[in-house]
Structure 1
């Protein structure tokens, strides 16, 4: 069972997260600030640290900076109310393996924790776009593995041309894939492409079937791992 440390300066929120996680992971401890978090990580050696980005005595970046060196087995997953691009990129560059917002559903949070523990990079769908943009611009990936360097699907580079899985998709399916991977909602994709929501849903279903994926989270991850560059927006 994945061992989790919850770091947040609001006791009520920590209690809520513990209750939401339930018995599906083992919550080994809690911390309400940087100093307590660094000490707890050293003492408890959790598999995953669920980490708030902003705290009165510092933030997630400082916790990672002080606690991560020499502890490659400890993975950090940011759990924040903020969806600001600067916050997302800063904590990922510091060494976090993912970033999800506090609106995430309980089941999705458990899945994110387990995936981060397994070494995956995990983001809420809309936040993935910030990371994709940062990598496409040549940003330093920090905690994101080289195979997950950020970019978007539907590019025309050599990597895209040589990908047999991507070659299965039609041009329209690639366009939909690109937008979904960047975190757009179905209705937003429909507006941007001038098609109906039902048509978007049909294309997404086709893409998931062809790539043998289960949901849009896996779709975003697939696009990131392929380093598919998108020269258009």
Structure 2
């Protein structure tokens, strides 16, 4: 049992060290030697858990993808128009669900190097990624905005696919900029975005109940 716990701690340290090095240097320049030094393990110890740098990158991406799923899975029922989930925001309004979830995502990008590195890796041409985090986010945003259209939460003349493109382009853009300058993924930046966007997206009579800075549940 003690040996298993030690192995689990070592594996966790290696994944986190890899995420830090990938986030700082990118996939190609990152070396196994740099990652093992950061993790405080020998190169042989690292290879006991991960056979290659690509395997390490996949582990980082899988962790990041799971973190994103934790944001969206609890809200998917609302986004699909199937009822109300805990923490869904203002009365289960799909637009509030979207606002809250985007704040949760940006908080992860600002504070969790594994998620930050995962998004960077999934967009690197030199790395054959098995996880497309941007697509994962895009599909969920599209689902929520289709639900908003079905429930009459979108303003007249706003097509859900157009709204999804605008939201995804903006949030992914903040993620890319935030990789170099943390200001872009801080809460006030996203709040300003939603303050500008919600009056265009929300149906009349709905806007006053939406919270651009996110609800406590989000």
TM-score by length of 1: 0.28
Structure with the larger helix share: 2
Max radius of gyration: which structure?
2
Higher relative contact order (CA 8 A, sep 6+): 2
Structure with the larger strand share: 1
TM-score by length of 2: 0.30
